[in-house]
Chains A and B, each alone.
Chain A
Amino acid sequence: MTERPLKQIRLAAHFPGVNNTTVWADPRSRSQIEFSSFEHLARTAERGLFDFFFLAEGLRLREHKGRIHDLDVVGRPESITVLNALAAVTEHLGLAATVNATFNEPYELARRLATLDHLSGGRAAWNVVTSSDAFTGENFRRGGFLDRADRYTRAAEFVATARELWDSWTPDGLSRPFAHRGQHFDIAGEFTVPRSPQGHPVVIQAGDSDEGREFAAATADVVFTRQASLEGGRAFYADVKGRLAKYGRTVEDLKIMPGVGVVLGDTAAEAQERAAEIRRQQTSPQTAILTLEQIWGVDLSSYDPDGPLPDIDPVAEPTLTEGRTRRGNTLEIAERWRALSREKGLSIRETVIEAGGRQSFVGTPQAVAAELDEFVQRDAADGFILVPHLTPAGLDEFVDRVVPLLQERGVFRTEYKGTTLRSHLGLSEPVWKG
């Protein structure tokens, strides 16, 4: 049996956003909103020859116990607008915007994405997310109109409609009228933007649910997943790639990229110490209590974060927090956390830290490079979306210390070969369907 050639690793960077991953109290932490922060992180990602730069989205500030959440970074700019500005200060880096398919309309969003693709010379990507959240809907004309079951049918029709609009211009520059009539959209007219450099901007899909996996297999170019363990990743990878054939697609057509945190040290022990310190910074005493309240669904402000877990049971359907979804059965989570606390003798804060650890790769640059490589060669991922814990310098160390090792291993590019994001990702040009 011949050995298969080494798979090439895809890398992308996530701008540290609105949750307790981002350590704002660190003295090196700078503005989350000023353009210079976005510019620094994007330029670092481009220096590291990354495939793309990824922005999340918020459409309503989170609330907890009826008040605006105040413990984590809050507030961010609108993502497509920032990415257009970043197109001016980068040359190759892909520019990925998270945009909700529930609170937007296909004509307008297809036009904004095609515009970004033109202005960046073919570097645009759209991370499709959905919402069924009436809380978020209170900021929109639509309101909270969509059933949970309809989110993906609307999203799928949304993506298909956007592609019809992008295909309404022929590759040689002729505009033709379009008409789309479906369950969610009944629209017609002429699209105002000629076919963009990539034909279709890259479509990214986030989400690990069964519906999300099916949607990704049918539609997406890249999957952004939370799966970050080797075994979990391999199972997810096999499952999602296994769904492609029935849509006439090959395993090359969809890249699987988990979001991961990386902590480096000169020795393994130093890296572990730094990771522990970062987790402590990410989980202040106030954040520990809040995390518990999200699960228990009741006010726990009288509890001592350095004391034991509450002996009362959580309410079955907690509604204390709005604007953020926590998956899973809260009674089970509470039981698991109590067991963890008992077994290791952990306080509330220590339990939250232990249970919610986010750093997927901790070690020396050599060890991390080897581990990332192993994940990719063993089909647990095609690459990674790095989620730094600091703005804006959180990617510097990875680019300086790990990227060269990946290049030495022959699994990461030493220069950009093409100019478009599709070419970086090894995705083919979309076939024009006029």
Chain B
Amino acid sequence: MLHLSAAVDQPSAYDAGSYVELARLAEHGVLDFVTLDDTFARPGLDALAVLSRVAPATGRIGLVPTVTTTHTEPFHVQAAVATLDWVSRGRAGWRLDVSTTEGEARLFGRRHAAPAEALWREAGEVADVAAKLWDSWEDDAEIRDEPTGRFIDRDKLHHVDFHGTEFSVRGPSIVPRPPQGHPVRVVDASEGQARDIAARYADVALVRSVSAAQTRAVRDQLRAAAARFGRDPDALRVLAALVVDLGDGEHAAEPGHGGGGPRQTAQGPLYRGGPVDLADLIASWHGEGAVDGFHLTPAEPRRDLERLVNGTVALLQHRGLFRTFYPGSTLREHLGLARPVNQYAGEAS
């Protein structure tokens, strides 16, 4: 199955309407999910808040905000992501990222900047404790048992007692287990420091590379690492991440345009060309088994997302390579991922 997703980032947009419009457009294209990037360092709204605002205005599309792990409280982060899953009825994801600069550290004044490797190790701990907290309520913990006067069965709530290198959390969560069990975790695995964390904790790994062969190599690496961590490699979706500029029309001749494939830029691998050429590229990389799908960042948000949905996606659907409707309702279902088993189920508190 081919998985398609898109970014809805818009520089200097501070109104709800423009985000709702793009998310609805992506939903019209039956994409698996949209992402919204975030950092404490540059102008922009809180991404999880924006996608919470988008949730009731959409029906099926997955919603994946970036939430960083370096300066935040893990307990708050897991609660907010679980809540996004509740308000979207099972469509939440979470793209983990770290804050490496001293400038970001100064906004909080609690710690100095640290090397990316240490921060990604901590991000892994945050991913781990989040999963534990999401599991700290069993699905059937709420019993409303009138004869004994008990609202919950407290044997189905669990302390997580997590002790990491930078923080500890007692638990349980304040939020009952979210609809998907675990909201979908997304990690950009392009850089080496993040790759192990992606293999170990991510449901979706993004890979920024300019060729099918390069992407396939990273995908093989990620799958092998996932297996070493005791995971089923088939439970990890690897998506090629491209910036797409669909402004120039079809069949541009020079390499890096259209048929020449993407080229490396400061913003990451950039595809320039027409929607038909992009459909060919997607079909070819996916057909070769190099990727499970794509994460596409429109260079010009409105224009390129519209061309992506009405051009590229429509063509892939016409060729029978991409679905024409959502068979399920949760993001996990779109991605073909199972609902995780609760790690505490059956254990007394």
Chain B residues in 8 Å Cβ range of A84: 49-50, 52-53
A81 is contacted by which of B75, B80, B106, B153 (Cβ under 8 Å)?
Answer: B80
Chain A residues in 8 Å Cβ range of B15: 118-119
Stretch at the interface among B84-92, B232-240, B254-262, B301-309: B84-92
**A70/B152 in contact, CB under 8 A:** yes
Asked if A24 is an interface residue, CB under 8 A from chain B, the answer is yes
Can you identify 16 A-B contacts, CB atoms within 8 angstroms?
Answer: A33-B86, A59-B174, A60-B170, A71-B149, A74-B151, A75-B176, A82-B52, A84-B50, A105-B108, A115-B45, A118-B14, A118-B15, A119-B50, A192-B40, A193-B14, A193-B45
Asked if A40 is an interface residue, CB under 8 A from chain B, the answer is no
Q: Give bound CA distance, A78 to B72, whole Å.
A: 15
Q: Give bound CA distance, A72 to B108, whole Å.
A: 37
Chain A residues in 8 Å Cβ range of B52: 81-82, 84-85
A115 is contacted by which of B50, B56, B72, B176 (Cβ under 8 Å)?
Answer: B50
Q: Give bound CA distance, A107 to B73, whole Å.
A: 13
**A104/B76 in contact, CB under 8 A:** yes
DSSP majority for the B interface? mixed
Write the chain A residue with the least CB distance to B79: A78
* Nearest CB of chain B from residue A313's CB, rounded to whole Å: 27
Q: 1/0 per position for A166-191, CB-CB distance to B under 8 A?
A: 00000000010000000001111100
Q: Give bound CA distance, A69 to B154, whole Å.
A: 7
**B172/A77 in contact, CB under 8 A:** no
B76 is contacted by which of A33, A61, A78, A82 (Cβ under 8 Å)?
Answer: A78
**B75/A33 in contact, CB under 8 A:** no
A76 is contacted by which of B74, B166, B169, B175 (Cβ under 8 Å)?
Answer: B175
Asked if A67 is an interface residue, CB under 8 A from chain B, the answer is yes
* Nearest CB of chain A from residue B42's CB, rounded to whole Å: 6
Q: Give bound CA distance, A285 to B150, whole Å.
A: 11
Q: Give bound CA distance, A70 to B54, whole Å.
A: 34
A119 is contacted by which of B44, B45, B86, B149 (Cβ under 8 Å)?
Answer: B45
Chain B residues in 8 Å Cβ range of A74: 142, 151-152, 157
Q: 1/0 per position for B70-111, CB-CB distance to A under 8 A?
A: 011111100110111011110000000000000110111110
Asked if B227 is an interface residue, CB under 8 A from chain A, the answer is no
**A68/B83 in contact, CB under 8 A:** no
Asked if A108 is an interface residue, CB under 8 A from chain B, the answer is yes
Asked whether A60 and B40 contact (CB < 8 A) given A70-B153, A77-B86, A103-B73, the answer is no
Asked if B146 is an interface residue, CB under 8 A from chain A, the answer is yes
**A78/B80 in contact, CB under 8 A:** yes
A35 is contacted by which of B80, B89, B106 (Cβ under 8 Å)?
Answer: B89
Within 8 A of B (CB), among A298-352: none
**A194/B14 in contact, CB under 8 A:** yes
Chain B residues in 8 Å Cβ range of A87: 16, 53
**A119/B144 in contact, CB under 8 A:** no
Write the chain B residue with the least CB distance to A36: B89
* Nearest CB of chain A from residue B104's CB, rounded to whole Å: 8
* Nearest CB of chain B from residue A194's CB, rounded to whole Å: 6
**B86/A70 in contact, CB under 8 A:** no
Number of A residues with CB within 8 Å of any CB on chain B: 58
How many A-B pairs with Cβ below 8 Å? 179
Write the chain A residue with the least CB distance to B103: A189
**A108/B151 in contact, CB under 8 A:** no
Asked if B46 is an interface residue, CB under 8 A from chain A, the answer is yes
Asked if A140 is an interface residue, CB under 8 A from chain B, the answer is yes
Write the chain A residue with the least CB distance to B166: A141
**A108/B72 in contact, CB under 8 A:** yes
Within 8 A of A (CB), among B158-177: 166-172, 174-176
**B157/A141 in contact, CB under 8 A:** no
Chain A residues in 8 Å Cβ range of B149: 71, 284-287
Asked if B322 is an interface residue, CB under 8 A from chain A, the answer is no
Asked if B343 is an interface residue, CB under 8 A from chain A, the answer is no
Chain A residues in 8 Å Cβ range of B88: 85
* Nearest CB of chain A from residue B77's CB, rounded to whole Å: 10
Asked if B137 is an interface residue, CB under 8 A from chain A, the answer is yes
Asked whether A105 and B16 contact (CB < 8 A) given A33-B176, A85-B55, the answer is no
Within 8 A of B (CB), among A53-72: 58-61, 67-72
Write the chain A residue with the least CB distance to B146: A25
**B40/A70 in contact, CB under 8 A:** no
Chain A residues in 8 Å Cβ range of B57: 88
**B142/A75 in contact, CB under 8 A:** yes
Write the chain A residue with the least CB distance to B74: A141
**B86/A35 in contact, CB under 8 A:** yes
Within 8 A of A (CB), among B284-326: none
**A139/B75 in contact, CB under 8 A:** yes
**B50/A139 in contact, CB under 8 A:** no
Q: 1/0 per position for B1-39, CB-CB distance to A under 8 A?
A: 000000000000011100010000000000000000000
**B174/A187 in contact, CB under 8 A:** no
Across the A-B interface, give the 4 residue pairs with the lowest CB-CB distance, nearest first. Answer: A286-B149, A84-B52, A138-B170, A85-B87
Asked whether A187 and B106 contact (CB < 8 A) given A87-B16, A105-B71, the answer is yes
**A108/B40 in contact, CB under 8 A:** yes
Q: Give bound CA distance, A285 to B149, whole Å.
A: 8
9 A-B pairs besides A103-B73, A111-B40 with CB distance below 8 A are A33-B86, A73-B151, A75-B152, A77-B86, A82-B83, A84-B53, A85-B52, A88-B54, A139-B171
**A34/B53 in contact, CB under 8 A:** no
Asked if A162 is an interface residue, CB under 8 A from chain B, the answer is no
**A107/B53 in contact, CB under 8 A:** no
B56 is contacted by which of A61, A88, A105, A185 (Cβ under 8 Å)?
Answer: A88
Write the chain B residue with the least CB distance to A288: B149
Asked if B148 is an interface residue, CB under 8 A from chain A, the answer is yes
Asked whether A141 and B44 contact (CB < 8 A) given A81-B52, A105-B108, the answer is no
* Nearest CB of chain B from residue A146's CB, rounded to whole Å: 14
Chain A residues in 8 Å Cβ range of B169: 138-140
Q: Give bound CA distance, A76 to B137, whole Å.
A: 12
Asked if B247 is an interface residue, CB under 8 A from chain A, the answer is no
* Nearest CB of chain A from residue B102's CB, rounded to whole Å: 10
Q: Give bound CA distance, A139 to B109, whole Å.
A: 20
* Nearest CB of chain B from residue A175's CB, rounded to whole Å: 7
Write the chain B residue with the least CB distance to A135: B170
Within 8 A of B (CB), among A260-299: 284-287
Looking at B52, B83, B144, which has the most chain A CB atoms within 10 Å of its CB? B52
**A70/B154 in contact, CB under 8 A:** yes
Chain B residues in 8 Å Cβ range of A216: none
Asked whether A24 and B151 contact (CB < 8 A) given A35-B87, A75-B137, A108-B40, the answer is yes
A192 is contacted by which of B16, B42, B110 (Cβ under 8 Å)?
Answer: B42
**B175/A107 in contact, CB under 8 A:** no
Asked if A89 is an interface residue, CB under 8 A from chain B, the answer is yes
